[in-house]
Chains A and B, each alone.
Chain A
Amino acid sequence: MRALLNSLSKHLLHHQSWSGYWEPVVQCFKPGWREGYFRAQVKHVQVFSEQSVELVIEPEKAWPVHQAGQHIALTIQTNGRLLTRVFTIASEPQLARQQRQIRLLIRSQEFGAFTSKLTNLRSGQWLNISEPKGQFVMPNTARSLIMLAGGSGITPFIAMLKSLPADSKHTITLLYYAKPNSHWLKDELEQLKQSLSNFDYHLLERNKDGDATTWLTTNAHKHWLVCGPAALYKQAAALAKQLNTPIDSEHFSAVPAVLATSDKHELTLTHQGKTFTIDNQQTLLTHLQANKQPVTVGCGMGICHQCQCVKKQGIVRDIRTGELSDSSEQLIQLCISQPVSDVELSA
C-alpha cells in the first residue's frame, strides 16, 4: 500500500513520498511530525556547566528501544532551519521501556551552532530523532572488561553500566579521562560502584596520570571498549593490535576547521566515493573541475543553483558573505563554497 501511494505520489503529484506530500498539513495537527523521523517530546533540559547539557526526551511509542551504547541522530528546528547531530544515548533501555524516556548528555562544541540552541529548548516542545543506530554495545564475552572513556565518550558506558543487573558477573573497570575538574556524572559513577559488586572506576587526567598505555598493557587479557576522541582510539587500537586484545570502539572525530583562509592548508574532498587532496584556496567547483569530476556548471557566481549538491560532512565558507556552513548535511553551491575543513559531498 505504502509503495503504491509513493509511486502514485511520485508520478502524479511529483513528490518523492506520499507522506512527505502531506507533511506540512499533518504538522498543523501533530507539531514536529516529519516523514522519515520519529517524534520525541522534550521533558527536561538542564545545563550542568558551560560544557554540558542534559536533555531528557520522550520518544513516540513506535520508536524501537535502543541497546545500551547505541546512538541516535537528533534533529531540531531552530529559527526555521533543521539541524542534525549524532549523540549517544546516556540512559539504559529499561528507562525507555518503562518511562518512555531517554537521556542525552551533550557537550558544547567549539562552533556551538547546535548545542547553544539546545539550551533554548523548552519542555513540551517536539523534536525529531532517528532509530537507534550503531554496533557499540556490551560484547558477548566471558572476559573481564576495560572501559576506556575520553571526555563526552563516557555516555555509552553510563548506559551500559546502568543496564547491568545488580547481580551481573561481569568484572568491569572504567578508565575515564577528562580535563581537570570536568569529569561528568561523578555521583552516578559512585552510585554504580555501590550497586554493582564487580565494578570499579578511575577518574584520570592526562597531565597528571599520563596516558592509558600502562593501564591497557597490564590488562591485555581483558576485552577493551573504547569511546572518545579519535586520538584516544588510535592509540588504544594500535596497542590492541600489538597485544592481540579484542577491542570495540566508537569514536567521534570532530573535523578541525582551518580558520585563517589566507594560509594555504591541505584538505580532503570526498566525492562519489573518491578522495582528492585539495587546498582551502579555491572553491569546491574549481577543485572538482581540476580533478575532472562531472559537475553541472552554471553562472559561477551563486545565482543559478545549477552546481548545487548535498554536503554530507565538513564546513565550507560562502565566499560572498564569509559565512560558515553547518558541519552536518546541507545543500551548498559549489561555485561559491570554499572548503575550510575536510568535506564529503554526496553523489
Chain B
Amino acid sequence: MKTTKTVNFEKLAAQLDSVKADIKSKLGEQDAKYIRRIIVCQRVFEWSGRILLMLGFIQPVLWLVGVLSLATAKILDNMEIGHNVMHGQYDWMNDKYINSKSYEWDIACDGASWNRVHNYEHHTYTNIIGKDRDFGYGLLRLSNDFRWRVKNLWQFVTYLLLSVLFQWGVSYHEMAAERVFFGKKKGDRDYTVSHSELKKRFFSKGARQLVKDYLLFPLLAGPLFLWVLTGNLAANLLRNLWTSTIIFCGHFTGEVETFNQQDCENESQGQWYYRQALGSSNIKGGNLFHVMTGHLSYQIEHHLFPDLPAKRYREIAPKVQAIFKEHGIHYNTGGFFRQYFSVVKRIVRYSFP
C-alpha cells in the first residue's frame, strides 16, 4: 500500500465489526417503514411528474415542475431505492419485491450487469488497479497508475460527456470492460456471462428505456408529444448529471488512494476495511441531500458496510470517524463544493503527464 503507516488491523476490524453488529441488531420496523415510505414518494413524484409534463401547454411552469418531479423520482429510484436495495440492504425483510434478487431500476443499465461489476468487482476490489474496473471507467486517467496518453489532454470534456450520458456509461461499462466490441480480449478473465448475453441485455434494457421515455409516454400525450419528450429528456439529463457528480465525489476526490493487486492477496478483514476507508470520501450535507444521494454522501460507511440499510450510515458515521482518528486513518469528508472542486482538480491534474 502507498501509505506506510502501521495500523493495528486486528483492532480496527474488531471495532468496525462491532459497529456493524450493533446496527444489525437494531434493524427492524423502522428501516422497513423507511424504505416503503421512500418508494411511496418515488411513485408519487413519478406520476405527478408525468401528468404535469402534459399540462405544460396550460402554463409552462407546470412543465418545469413536472421535469423536476420526474427527475426527483428517477434520482430516488436510482440512488436510495435501486442502488441500496440491489446491494441487499433490505433482503432481511423477506419482502418479495424489495430485495436484491428481484429489483430492477429505471436506468439504461441492466440490474444484473451492474450487480456483477459494481457489487462484486467494485466493492470487493475497491480501487485495485486492474481489478476494480470502476476506477476511471477506462476513460479517465485519475492516477499515476496509468500511462499518460494524448487523449488524456481533453479528458475533462470526456468527463462532462460521461456525466451527460451517465446511465449509458454505466450500462456499457461491463461490455467495455469485457471488450465485447473493441480491443484486445484478456485471456485471464473468468467470464461468468457470455458476450452474446451481455449484448442482449444491453440492447433490450436500453431499448425499453428509450421506447418508454421517448416514444410511448410522448405518444400517450398525443398532440403534446414534444412537451413530454423534451420533459423526459430533461429529467433523464438531470438524473445523469446528479448521479455522476455524487459518484465522482465519493470516489475520485484528490486524496483517494489506489492499490495494486498484491495489496489484496491474503488480505485480512482489517486490511480490507482499511482499503475501503482510503478508497472513498464523504460529502457533508443536510437530511434531504443525504436522501437524494441515496446516502452515498456517506461513501466511506457504504464501502465499509455495503449491505447495511443506507439510512443507518448517518448514525454510524461519528463512530467510524472516531475509530479512524484513533488509528490515524484519514477520514475524507467535506462540503459538496469542496469535494467537487477536488474531483475537478484531479481530472485536470492527470490530464497532463
Interface residues of A (CB under 8 A from B): 11-16, 20-25, 27-28, 35-36, 77, 79-83, 296-299, 301, 303-306, 308-310, 321, 326, 329-331, 333
Considering residues B102, B106, B119, B120, which has the most beta carbons from chain A within 10 angstroms of its beta carbon?
A: B120
Q: Which residue of A lies closest to B39 (CB)?
A: A24
Assess whether B345 is interfacial by the CB under 8 Å rule.
no
Majority DSSP secondary structure for residues of B touching A: helix
From B28-36, B227-235, B254-262, B328-336, give the one contacting chain A.
B28-36
Q: Which residues of A contact B91 (CB under 8 A)?
A: 305, 308, 331
Tell whether, in the assembled complex, residue B88 and residue A79 are in contact, meaning their CB atoms are under 8 Å apart.
no
Within 8 A of A (CB), among B222-277: none
Tell whether, in the assembled complex, residue B101 and residue A306 are in contact, meaning their CB atoms are under 8 Å apart.
no
A-B contacts, CB under 8 A, total: 101
Q: Which residues of A contact B44 (CB under 8 A)?
A: 25
Tell whether, in the assembled complex, residue B36 and residue A24 are in contact, meaning their CB atoms are under 8 Å apart.
yes
Tell whether, in the assembled complex, residue B120 and residue A80 are in contact, meaning their CB atoms are under 8 Å apart.
no
Within 8 A of A (CB), among B291-313: 306-307
Checking A80, A83, A297, A326 against B32 with a beta-carbon cut-off of 8 angstroms, the contacting residue is A80
Q: Which residue of B lies closest to A301 (CB)?
A: B124
Q: A16-B102, A80-B31 are in contact. Are A22 and B92 (CB under 8 A)?
A: no
Within 8 A of A (CB), among B1-55: 21, 24, 27-33, 36-37, 39-40, 43-44
Within 8 A of A (CB), among B40-82: 40, 43-44
Assess whether B100 is interfacial by the CB under 8 Å rule.
yes
**Chain B window 88-101, contacts with chain A (Cβ cutoff 8 Å), 1 for yes, 0 for no:** 10011111110111
Assess whether B165 is interfacial by the CB under 8 Å rule.
no
Question: What separation, in Å, do the CA atoms of A301 and B124 have in the docked complex?
Answer: 9
Q: A20-B97, A23-B97, A331-B99 are in contact. Are A306 and B116 (CB under 8 A)?
A: yes
Tell whether, in the assembled complex, residue B101 and residue A308 are in contact, meaning their CB atoms are under 8 Å apart.
yes
Q: How far is the CB of B351 from chain A (nearest CB, A)?
A: 33
Q: Which residues of B contact A326 (CB under 8 A)?
A: 94
Q: Which residue of A lies closest to B36 (CB)?
A: A24
Tell whether, in the assembled complex, residue A12 and residue B94 are in contact, meaning their CB atoms are under 8 Å apart.
no
Tell whether, in the assembled complex, residue A298 and residue B101 are in contact, meaning their CB atoms are under 8 Å apart.
no
Tell whether, in the assembled complex, residue B120 and residue A299 are in contact, meaning their CB atoms are under 8 Å apart.
yes
Tell whether, in the assembled complex, residue B216 and residue A305 are in contact, meaning their CB atoms are under 8 Å apart.
no
Q: How far is the CB of A121 from chain B (nearest CB, A)?
A: 14
Question: What separation, in Å, do the CA atoms of A82 and B99 have in the docked complex?
Answer: 12
Tell whether, in the assembled complex, residue A12 and residue B36 are in contact, meaning their CB atoms are under 8 Å apart.
no
Q: How far is the CB of B273 from chain A (nearest CB, A)?
A: 12
Checking A20, A25, A329 against B40 with a beta-carbon cut-off of 8 angstroms, the contacting residue is A25
Q: Which residues of A contact B93 (CB under 8 A)?
A: 80-82
Tell whether, in the assembled complex, residue A308 and residue B120 are in contact, meaning their CB atoms are under 8 Å apart.
no
**Chain B window 169-201, contacts with chain A (Cβ cutoff 8 Å), 1 for yes, 0 for no:** 000000000000000000000001000000000
Q: Besides A11-B212, A304-B115, A331-B101, 15 other CB < 8 A contacts? A: A16-B102, A23-B97, A25-B39, A80-B27, A80-B93, A81-B92, A303-B119, A303-B306, A305-B115, A308-B100, A310-B101, A330-B94, A331-B91, A331-B100, A333-B88
